[in-house]
Amino acid sequence: MLNRFFQQELSHLRDLAAEFSRLHPALAPMLSGPTKDPDVERLLEGTAFLTGLLRCKLDDDFPELIHGLAQLTFPHSLRPVPSTSMVVFAPKPNLKETMRIPAGTALASIPVEGTKCLFRTCYDLDVHPLKLTSAKLAERTGGSRSIQLSLQLSGLALNKWRPKSLRLHVSGQYAEATNLFELLLTRTERIVVRPLDGGSPLVLPPIRIKSAGFGRDEALLPYPSQAFPGYRIIQEYFTLPEKFLFLDISGLDGWQDPGAGSRFEIHFELGQIPNDLPRVGAESFQLFATPVVNVFTHDAAPIRLDHRASEYRILPEGGSSAQYQVFSVEKVVGIAQGSVKTREYTPFEIMKPSSTGNPVHYVNRRISPVSGLTEVLLSVAYPPGELPPERETLAVSLLCTNAQLPERLRLGDINQPTSTSPELCEFRNIRQPTPQVEPPMGHDQLWRLLSHMTLNLMSLADASNLREILKLSVHPSGRDRTLFEGNMKRLDGIEKLSVKAADRLVRGLLVRGNELSLTLNPDSFASRGDMYLFGCILDYFLGTYAQINTFTQLSVQDALKGDTYRWPARAGDKPLI
């Protein structure tokens, strides 16, 4: 935009200079014509640049006002969505017992333009000396089917292996994976864990298989504490839907007689099955998988606070904007010149009236009119009556991303160890990293913010309202056009939503709530399972809007076939049963 304004202003100044020189040749002989002074031309260019900047400012609708309000209420809306991917760990032969890989473990990629992209894991992961040898769709007596997984421990007997649960990632081609995900969660009648070398089988009810990835401790994107968790789930789904294709099988600690062998099978015995059964093979499941996100801790270059400017730009230390981009400011510490004492600056958005009188810092983001990139700026303020120090150095701790570098990685390129990655496991990414999406900083930010602030469950009791609020998390600025168009098509598949008041008896108490009926067009989804996964996301999202001491229960109907999915009633982010 600045380039257009600059050209317009420069052309206007040249026309005025030529006109003035023609009318007053004695006063301005060097403004135009053959005797034109090149230094005058430089002055015109400088003036055009300044007036172009002024026109940019007049045209931006004063985003500082809106960004300040968004920083207080919806700070996630001003942050980029980092690159994400899926990583699988493979235990080495010398792993002989279960090993915990905590969430937040750092992993590195091969160098991109000399820079290793850093990712961190999002789930706590228990890695066992276990291998999935095969998976298939098997016949059962009576004509029914089961999904059979064959597994084998390495260097460890079943009676010495004591897991509480086992997590599976449903992988492969997305449409097939979601169909298999839906089949296991809605059609499983019981789960049989059968040892192959002696011992007795373990029989588990279908309630022992549950979806994973919705918990606050399983977040893909770092979210501020004051941000509404429902938006995180929606944003993560539109960014990396594979993040929710996880299944937890619990109750394995109740296996009384597994035997002394190392081989066993897990049978998911199915009830009524659809005509279009998904293909099942060893590639349909992954053990020890987790989502990863391109976010890591980093320091900013020290800021010399001399109070000659109202804002100071935050620059990640030791790299260019192509290597490091600020995701969030985590901590600001001031060090006075000639002193070893430090003091922490409190973030403006969490400042309370009863705060201890510490100075505060405020973070602002804006689009550079020259480069078009997002700039992050820091300003500080002091309590009333306190004089700022004459000279102070600010040490700023950041969360950073590698900007657009990760999108150049391919399958298997996230495989380099770090100081925190496990030594007894190898790892690789099984999905190409998603492109980073910049925060929406355009002129519609005010209306986007207002739509968030006026939202409640009853205002969503209309299909068009639900579509519009979900569209706020689908960023058209993303470079993955296939993902964007697929998400928009899913939203177009929302045909009808109705809300009906209801009462339920829960643990002897009468609880009031709402039953929500949603009609979806299956032609807008990649598969039946894709529609079911979308319903799982909306069940959580709509549930978080329930008022205190109330519940929601969602049912989703196929607009063409009439099939209906129904989820258990939930109060907020917790099911009632």
* Residue 374 CB neighbours (<10 A): 19
Residue bearing the bigger pLDDT, 295 or 471:
295
Instruction: Give per-residue pLDDT as tens, 236-284.
Output: 999 999 999 999 999 999 999 999 999 999 999 998 888 788 899 999 9
Q: What is the pLDDT of residues 325-340, one digit of tens each?
A: 999 999 999 998 877 7
Cα–Cα distance for residue pair 223/102, rounded to 1 Å: 18
Q: What is the pLDDT of residue 336?
A: 84
Whether 361 and 423 map to the same domain: the answer is no
**Spatial CA neighbour of 154 closest among 219, 232, 98, 81:** 98
Tell whether the model's pLDDT for residue 442 goes beyond 70.
Answer: no
CA distances from residue 220 to 382, 438, 498 in whole angstroms, order as listed: 35, 17, 31
Is residue 217 within 8 Å of 298, Cβ to Cβ? Answer: no
Does an H or E element contain 151, and which?
strand 145-153
Whether 389 and 22 have beta carbons less than 8 Å apart is answered as: no
Q: Could you identify the residue written with the tokens 């257009």? A: 4
Q: Is residue 74 part of a domain?
A: no
Stated pTM of the model? 0.87
Domain co-membership, 309 together with 350: yes
Residue 69 lies in a domain: no
Instruction: Give a yes or no: residue 26 inside a domain.
Output: yes
User: Same domain for 144 and 265?
Assistant: yes
| E strand or H helix that includes residue 565 | strand 564-566
- 487 lies in a domain? yes
What residues make up the domain containing 384?
Answer: 299-318+326-401
Give a yes or no: residue 65 inside a domain. no
| Whole-number Å distance between alpha carbons of 326 and 398 | 7
Range 141-179 burial, b when 16+ CB lie within 10 A, else e: eeeebbbbbbbebeebebbebeeeebbbbbbbebebbbb
Which of 214 and 3 is assigned the larger pLDDT? 214
- pLDDT of res. 23: 73
- List pLDDT tens digits, range 114-142: 999 999 999 999 999 999 999 999 887 77
| Alpha helices in 229-313, H assignment, sequence order | 229-239
142, 307, 555 from 405: Cα distances, Å: 55, 35, 42
Alpha-carbon span 146 to 270, nearest angstrom: 5
Determine which helix (DSSP H) or strand (DSSP E) holds 87, and give its type and residue range.
strand 84-91
Whether pLDDT at 1 is above 70: no
Q: Does residue 534 form part of some domain?
A: yes
Across the chain, what does the average pLDDT equal? Answer: 86
**135 neighbors 282 (Cβ within 8 angstroms):** yes
pLDDT-based confidence at 297, cuts 50/70/90?
very high
- Based on the domain organization, do 331 and 413 belong to the same domain? no
Give the DSSP letter string of 186-212. HHEEEEEEEESSSS--EEE-GGGEEEE
Under 8 Å CB-to-CB from 338, ≥6 apart: which residues? none
- 530-545: average pLDDT: 93
Q: How high is the pLDDT of residue 451? A: 64
134 and 256 together in one domain: yes
Q: Give residue 58's pLDDT.
A: 63
Together in a domain, 145 and 253? yes
Identify the pLDDT of residue 348.
Answer: 82
User: How does residue 34 score in pLDDT terms, banded at 50, 70 and 90?
Assistant: low
Q: Which pLDDT value is given to residue 262?
A: 94
Of 93, 268, 100, 104, the C-alpha closest to 170 is 268
Instruction: Report if residue 252 sits inside a domain.
Output: yes
What's the pLDDT score for residue 165?
Answer: 94
Judge if 464 and 518 occupy the same domain: yes
State what percent of residues in the chain have pLDDT above 90.
Answer: 53
Same domain, 32 and 50: yes
Question: Tell me: the pLDDT tens digits for 216-240?
Answer: 889 999 887 777 788 899 999 999 9
> Are 134 and 173 members of one domain?
yes
Q: Are residues 390 and 338 in the same domain?
A: yes
In a shared domain, residues 232 and 117: no
Boundary-marking domain end, from 59, 74, 103: 59
238 is a domain residue: yes
| Confidence tier at 547 by pLDDT (50, 70, 90) | confident
Give strand pairing partners of 505. Answer: 510
Phi, psi of 304 (to 5 degrees): -80, 105
Indicate the range of 147-156, 264-273, 460-469 predicted with least confidence: 460-469
Express each pLDDT in 369-401 by its tens digit: 666 678 899 999 888 888 888 788 999 999 999
- 46 DSSP 8-state letter: H
Q: What pLDDT, in 10s, does the model give residues 47-102?
A: 877 787 677 666 665 566 666 667 766 777 788 999 999 999 999 999 999 999 99
Residues 142 and 269 in one domain: yes
What's at 502, amino acid-wise? A
Q: How many structural domains is the chain composed of?
A: 5
Q: What is the rounded distance in angstroms from the CA atom of residue 215 to the CA atom of residue 225? A: 14
Q: Say what the pLDDT of residue 273 is.
A: 81
Q: Specify the DSSP element, H or E, that contains 330.
A: strand 325-336
Binned at pLDDT 50, 70 and 90, residue 457 comes out as low
